[in-house]
A and B are shown apart, each in its own frame.
Chain A
């Protein structure tokens, strides 16, 4: 790993002031540190945001659950508030990586990285999340812009993610047996007036599978998906699964999710 200057900050202003074109914020470091070790990324300054108290914690209201960006996966998985308001979100957190990754990895880090196979981006899309940064609010459908790309500007810091509490929801994934990243993951959420079917792992970026969502909006049952056809166009194809296989899995895992809602 190339050397850098490590800064530990205690407030958001100080953190964003230190940010430059050659800096990165460090939360759990579960992706940042391995990427730096492998030479895929290098920075002049690493700005550790874990000691900024206001960035960590979980708050639930009647309509939404707001999770601070440095809240760890283990905290979301074990949170009484999350389990009560959106049990599928706690279950998603419990399925990320392994216990040691869940003890360090954070929700803000996961969505800022926007790995095409990560779990949390699908929760943001399915649960109509709003991403609160240090200077604006971004709706999830405008946040994830491409493979490892988001609409965050350089030096912009995620403070919290606000999830809308659905009527019912479920996340089902086919995990890669080695990494537990999703080969295909489908997060189905039924809200009062809409249904979202967020798919991760299948394409270069998380997306809302509208054909399944509109079928479920008419009739929220897995049988309503029998005649829905998912095209393999734009689907990932790699040593783990072909594009056709992934297209098929999207429908199968959507059905599983609906049945488990």
Chain B
């Protein structure tokens, strides 16, 4: 067992977990933050993307023990004062989701893109979302949503 201390969505947490616990399991099963989804569980699909110290990573492929001491932001951490994040608003407005399973990862990944590049082109958005797979194939509206959010962030 390992004691893992992290800051998740601005709150300090400290839990004892088995050494092989991955971050996605730590978030979902230990902290009950089920907004982070697990699709493929082998770092292909991107449904589990969260931010660790400001960078997007796939939480299914990082050990919780190895994230020790970091600041983690999940989809639950985006809402402020009951208001959706501009990226979430844009996904809603542009119908950037159908079943919604991939959406938490898409949103987290897209925010990381805009942190790097303020006004990305369609190609840059598509290249960046390389690691996020939408099984409903709603990519057209996802790109439109990221562009809309870029104009507001």
Q: Which residues of A contact B16 (CB under 8 A)?
A: none
The distance in angstroms between the C-alpha atoms of A38 and B40, with both chains bound, is: 11
Secondary structure of the A contact surface, majority rule: mixed
In the complex with contacts A33-B61, A178-B44, A98-B19 CB distance below 8 A: no
The distance in angstroms between the C-alpha atoms of A97 and B112, with both chains bound, is: 16
Secondary structure of the B contact surface, majority rule: mixed
Q: Are A8 and B68 interface neighbours, CB within 8 A? A: yes
Q: Which residues of A contact B56 (CB under 8 A)?
A: 99-100, 103
The distance in angstroms between the C-alpha atoms of A29 and B62, with both chains bound, is: 7
In the complex, B35 has a CB within 8 A of chain A = no
In the complex with contacts A29-B63, A99-B131, A37-B57 CB distance below 8 A: no
In the complex, A168 has a CB within 8 A of chain B = no
Q: Are B22 and A33 interface neighbours, CB within 8 A? A: yes
Which of A34, A48, A100 is close to B66, meaning CB atoms less than 8 Å apart? A48
Q: Which residues of B contact A101 (CB under 8 A)?
A: 43, 58, 131
Q: Are B43 and A30 interface neighbours, CB within 8 A? A: yes
Cβ proximity bits B103-114 to A, threshold 8 Å, 1 near / 0 not: 000000100110
Residue count of chain A within 8 Å CB distance of chain B: 29
Q: Are A34 and B61 interface neighbours, CB within 8 A? A: yes
Q: Which residues of B contact A5 (CB under 8 A)?
A: 19
In the complex, A2 has a CB within 8 A of chain B = yes
The distance in angstroms between the C-alpha atoms of A179 and B19, with both chains bound, is: 28
Q: Are B44 and A100 interface neighbours, CB within 8 A? A: no
Which of B2, B66, B128 is close to A99, meaning CB atoms less than 8 Å apart? B128
The distance in angstroms between the C-alpha atoms of A118 and B135, with both chains bound, is: 26
In the complex, B95 has a CB within 8 A of chain A = no
Q: Which residues of A contact B22 (CB under 8 A)?
A: 1, 33
Q: Which residues of A contact B57 (CB under 8 A)?
A: 100, 103-104
In the complex, B7 has a CB within 8 A of chain A = no
Q: Are A2 and B62 interface neighbours, CB within 8 A? A: no
Which of B18, B46, B113 is close to A3, meaning CB atoms less than 8 Å apart? B18
Q: Which residues of B contact A1 (CB under 8 A)?
A: 20, 22
In the complex with contacts A34-B61, A104-B62, A179-B44, A99-B20 CB distance below 8 A: no
The distance in angstroms between the C-alpha atoms of A98 and B61, with both chains bound, is: 14
Cβ proximity bits A148-188 to B, threshold 8 Å, 1 near / 0 not: 00000000000000000000000000000011100000000
15 further A-B contacts with Cβ under 8 Å, apart from A4-B19, A48-B63, A101-B58, are A1-B20, A6-B2, A8-B65, A30-B43, A30-B61, A34-B42, A34-B43, A34-B61, A37-B41, A48-B65, A99-B128, A100-B43, A100-B57, A103-B57, A104-B61
